[in-house]
Amino acid sequence: MARGDSGLKVDRRKFLTGVAVAGAAGTVAPHAADATPAASAAAARLPSALPPTAQTIAAETGTPDIPPYSQHGRPGSDFMVDVIKTLDIKYLPANPASSFRGIHESLIDYGGNKQPEFLTCMHEESAVGMAHGYFKVAGKPLMTLVHGTVGLQHASMGIYNAFCDRVPVIIMGGTDLDAAYRPPGVPTVHSAQDINAMVRDYTKWDDTPVSAQHFAQSFVRAYKIATTPPYGPVMLALDAGLQQEPIEDHGQKLYIPKYVKGAPPQGEMGAVREAARLLVNAERPVIVADRAINTTQGIKLLVQLAELLQAPVVRQRGRLNFPTTHYLSRPAGVIRQADVILGLELSDYWATVNGFVDNNEHGVGMNESHIKPGTKLISLGNHDLMTKSNYQEFQRFQSVDLQMAGDVEATLPSLIEAVKSALTSDRKAAIERKIEANKKAWQKGRDNTHQLAAIAWDASPISTARLVMETYNQVKDLDWSMAVESGNTSNWARRLLPMDKHYHWTGSSGGYGVGWGSPAAVGAALANRDEGRFTVNFQGDGDLMYAPGVLWTAARHKIPLLTVMHNNRGYHQEVMHVQRLANFRNRVAYLGNDMAPIGTSIQNPDVEYHKLAESMGWWAKGPIKDPAELGPALKEAVVVVKSGQPALLNVWTQPR
Amino acid sequence: MHRQIVRVALAAAVAGAFLGFNPAFAAGDAARGKLQFVKHGCWQCHGFRGQGSVASSGGKVLAPDPLPWEAFSAFVRSTNRAMPPFSEKILPNRDLEDIYAYLQSVPKTADYKSIPLLAQ
């Protein structure tokens, strides 16, 4: 990367060679620190194709001397911290790396480790997952720092989840761009021409600033792009040279652009009125909501709309969207009866109105429509404003009759007003006549669901319905957040528990990249901690094992969280997939010594999650297999979490 | 196309089984059936008690009160939609009969209103 001033190049080279030699000093040549600049420059110019020498490994892994790099002025990374501090970013979960040591040091020593506070993570995927979970509760983005190549590779699945789930995360990746001056060996292996390329397909925007001023513009721009709907992750490559070089006075005054929150996009008013007309005149309108609502206020708006229309609401998995306790809340079956469907930020409109049965028919599976011919489809959402090409999260194409690109929460007030104006007194009376029947239908559905939950109530391993109810019973009097669900507990929490706040249930990962549950729960718990709320998550066993180090992060930073394991001892989705294929092929699935087809079980030996958690500073208990022992263990765990410590219960559960 | 042929063949096999059917299932061994229920993978989608799940058995509950044997066995052999069929080759009749006996032995479910956590 070209530097703005050739004088800087000289400084940078001196500095870099100094570090290479200083790093070597400890292990290779005790007196090398005294070497002349010429000698050290020669050492630094080793051909970079060679494997790293002891010297360069030492530069990466040894204890570096802090060089006097700021003797000509403030380090660039101090200015970066000034920029970051103008935005409301409370935490910075990250795994440390040499390529961003400049800004790391500035953040803690110059910035005082506040706004943002550095939270030590053990995996970059955990850091991004935490930021993801945090946003779902707090509605504010966090930032993270990654080693630009290997660290970003670790982070990438988390970034994909955030992208699919339309959640803002600000990612900065350290990279040493100047091939002529960067240390050879490991730091060079850890640099790339364009680190952002790897995540460009699933970030909303990225940039590689080449000057301090460029950084200031790009950081504020990145923040703004990430936090303007449709939300999404953004990526900045951060040159090591830019962080470490002093800012010299060239007569040009550095400035920090002011961040002003942008107004979210709204559905076009003509289309909003047409949607209202269709909905008001429908006999059986149905509302389906997925990633629609991020706030409790938004949930209230959707209640208003649903009540005006007496339209049942189907809650998909992206967010809570609608109170579970409301008499218009319904399972997906109502879609089959609809004559008008309002889809709110649906991640998959096709699968909302069609079905795919994985039964080997029609090639791989059977496709069928779930709606009556002539059903009018309306779509409102931000997704139309951000469609990329490579990754297929945009799903199958579904034609709709009326499409409104716009933010659901921002558009709901105008839609509600338009519905009110479109309601004639006849229509109003006809709609109001549905209230009693709707209340009855809801009560019937509730009874039915509770009776289903009673089946296998005393089973061991413990039924997922019981797991959920025993847990709820211990937290129901608190301001609770059942933040994140990983694994699959048959949706019992959303089917059985009274939820009407956005943080009662924060929805799925978006990209279904497994390993998201535990870091997202820790991130959500961090946001809840600051509001004095109690956080609990149902934790899949397979999900936890991708990067269990996040448990340590929670203990280290005193993030109280009750983790209740849904330990079904397998990658259960895959258990069923392999069985399914074996049946289709008329073969017996080979189990080896396990319960499930080879390669899908997590047993022999069983993982002792309670010991794993205990080893990282958690209070933990298990394995709990007898349902009668669950309530008392939960009671103990809740006391621990209320005292500010995380706690985990290793519960053996039914598969789903 | 190929799939349709398989379905017809399966249906014929099931019909044949009906004709020569002897209600030996009544003598099925519930204890052995419990083991077969695990060995053949029924537990995966239906839970160890056959309680089912919205997520993996389309909400279908196998027990308590399993379907009548005829409907039960016909379904397992051919299935209608989302469940992968188990032919006799991979699930012998005797094992299926024992599985059925196990499902019949699953105790009745209490009224949810009698379970304090669900009644609240």
Q: Where are the beta strands (DSSP E) in A188-300?
A: 205-207, 234-239, 246-247, 285-289
What is the per-residue DSSP string for A418-442?
Answer: HHHHH--HHHHHHHHTTHHHHHHHH
Q: What pLDDT is recorded for position A26?
A: 32
Those residues with Cβ within 8 angstroms of residue A408's Cβ, 6 or more apart along the chain or in another chain: A289, A292, A293, A298, A344, A345, A380, A381, A382
In this complex, do B90 and A587 lie within 8 Å of one another by their Cβ atoms? yes
Residue A51 confidence (pLDDT): 52
Cβ-based contacts of B90 with chain A (< 8 Å)? 582-583, 586-588
Going by pLDDT thresholds of 50, 70 and 90, the confidence category of residue B5 is very low
In this complex, which of A359, A454, A575 lies closest to B112 when CB atoms are compared?
A454
- A155-159, A478-482, A511-515, B12-16: least confidently modelled range: B12-16
Whether the CB-CB separation of A463 and B47 falls below 8 Å is answered with yes
Using a CB-CB distance cutoff of 8 angstroms, which residues of chain A are in contact with residue B1? none
Percent of chain A residues past pLDDT 70, beyond the cut? 89
> What's the predicted TM-score (pTM) here?
0.90
> For the residues B76-85, what does the mean pLDDT come to?
92
- Model confidence at A247, pLDDT cuts 50, 70, 90, reads confident
User: β-strands A246-247, A74-75: how paired?
Assistant: antiparallel
Check residues A249 and A36 and name the one with the higher pLDDT: A249
List b or e across A112-139, with b for residues whose CB sees 16 or more CB atoms inside 10 angstroms: eeebbbbbebbbbbbbbbbbbbbbbbbe
Averaged over B81-89, what is the pLDDT? 95
Burial of A47 (0-12, 13-18, 19+ CB in 10 A): exposed
Task: Indicate whether A65 pLDDT > 60.
Answer: no
Q: Pairing relation of β-strands A354-357 and A366-369?
A: antiparallel
Residues in chain B: 120
The single residue listed with the structure tokens 């899949």 is A540
pLDDT in tens, A220-237: 999 999 999 999 999 999
Residue of A nearest to B36 (CA): A595
Task: Please judge whether A452 and B59 are an interchain contact, meaning their C-beta atoms are less than 8 angstroms apart.
Answer: yes
* Least confident interval from A254-258, A510-514, B4-8, B21-25: B4-8
Q: Is the pLDDT of residue A251 over 80?
A: no
Reported as a single tens digit per residue, the pLDDT across A577-629 is 999 999 999 999 999 999 999 999 999 999 999 999 999 999 999 999 999 99
Task: Tally Cβ neighbours within 10 Å of residue A65.
Answer: 14
At residue A312, the 3 state secondary structure works out as: coil
**B32-54 mean pLDDT:** 97
Q: Rounded to an integer, what distance in angstroms lies between the CA atom of residue A214 and that of residue A3?
A: 12
Interchain CB distance below 8 Å, B61 and A455? yes
pLDDT value at residue A275: 98
Q: Quick one: pLDDT band at residue B14, thresholds 50, 70, 90?
A: very low
Q: Is A68's pLDDT higher than 50?
A: no
Local confidence band at B120 (pLDDT 50, 70, 90 cut-offs): confident
Max Cα distance, chain A (Å):
94
- Across the range B111-120, mean pLDDT stands at 97
What are phi and psi for residue A194, nearest 5 degrees? Answer: -150, 85
Please report the DSSP string for A193-220 in residue order. S-GGGGGGGGSSEEE---SHHHHHHHHH
pLDDT (tens digit per residue) in A425-458: 999 999 999 999 999 999 999 999 999 999 999 9
**A48 pLDDT more than 80:** no
Identify all chain B residues contacting A445, using CB atoms and an 8 Å cutoff.
none
User: In chain A, pLDDT over 90 holds for what percent of residues?
Assistant: 86
ipTM: 0.87
User: Using CA atoms, how far apart are residues A347 and A508, in angstroms rounded to an integer?
Assistant: 12
Q: Mapping DSSP to helix (H, G, I), strand (E, B) and coil, where does residue A378 land?
A: strand
- Percentage of residues in chain B having pLDDT higher than 70: 78
Q: Taking residues B26-31, what's their average pLDDT? A: 85
Q: Do B112 and A453 touch (CB under 8 A)?
A: yes
Residues in chain B with CB shorter than 8 Å from the CB of A491 are 54-55
Minimal CA separation from B66 to chain A, in Å: 13
What is the dotted CATH code of the domain comprising A70-244?
Answer: 3.40.50.970
Handedness of CA A541, A546, A547, A550 (dihedral sign): negative
Instruction: Please answer whether residues B84 and A579 qualify as being in contact, where contact means their C-beta atoms are separated by less than 8 angstroms.
Output: yes
Q: Say if A70-244 and A454-569+606-651 have the same CATH topology.
A: yes
Domain A454-569+606-651 has CATH 3.40.390.10: no
Neighboring chain A residues of B105 at a CB cutoff of 8 Å: none
Cβ neighbour number for residue A538 with a 10 Å cutoff? 26
Cβ separation A358–B47 shorter than 8 A = no
Please give the average per-residue pLDDT across A461-474, as a whole number: 98
Supply the DSSP symbol for A110: I
Q: Is the four-CA dihedral A279, A283, A289, A294 of positive or negative sign? A: positive
Question: To the nearest whole number, what is the mean pLDDT of chain B?
Answer: 84
Give residue A363's pLDDT: 74
CATH superfamily of A269-386+394-438: TPP-binding domain (3.40.50.1220)
For residue A252, the model assigns a pLDDT of: 72
- Distance of residue B18 Cα from the nearest chain A Cα, in angstroms: 21
What does the pLDDT read at residue A362? Answer: 75
Mean of pLDDT values over A521-542: 98
Rounded CA gap, A520 and A523, in Å?
Answer: 5
CA A629, A447, A316, A273 torsion-angle sign:
negative
Distances, alpha carbon A509 to alpha carbons A136, A517, A600, in Å: 10, 8, 22
Any CB–CB contact under 8 A between B38 and chain A?
yes
Q: Would you state the pLDDT for residue A61?
A: 62
Distance from CA of A291 to the nearest CA of B (A): 20
Residue A376, beta-bridge partner list = A340
pLDDT of A74: 87
Domain boundaries, chain A: 6-67, 70-244, 269-386+394-438, 454-569+606-651
Q: Is A12 exposed, middle or buried (0-12, 13-18, 19+ CB in 10 A)?
A: buried
pLDDT digits (tens, 9 = 90+) for A173-183: 999 999 999 99
How far apart (Å, rounded) are the C-alpha atoms in residues A511 and A460? 32
pLDDT tens digits, A183-200: 999 999 999 999 999 999
Please determine, for residue A73, whether its predicted confidence score (pLDDT) is greater than 60: yes
pLDDT score of A44 more than 90? no
* Contact assignment for A572 to B54 by CB distance below 8 Å: no
* pLDDT at residue A1 greater than cutoff 60: no
String of b and e for A176-201 (b: at least 16 CB within 10 Å)?
A: bbbeebbbbbbbbebbbeebbebbee
Average pLDDT, chain A: 91
- Residue A108 DSSP label: I
**What is the secondary structure of chain B as a DSSP string?**
-HHHHHHHHHHHHHHHHHHT---GGGG--HHHHHHHHHHTTHHHHH-TTS---TTTSTT---SSSPPPHHHHHHHHHH-SSSSPP--TTTS-HHHHHHHHHHHHHSPPPPPGGGSHHHH-
What digits encode the pLDDT tens for the residues A80-110?
999 999 999 999 999 999 999 999 999 999 9
Q: Provide the pLDDT confidence category of residue A57 given band limits of 50, 70 and 90.
A: low
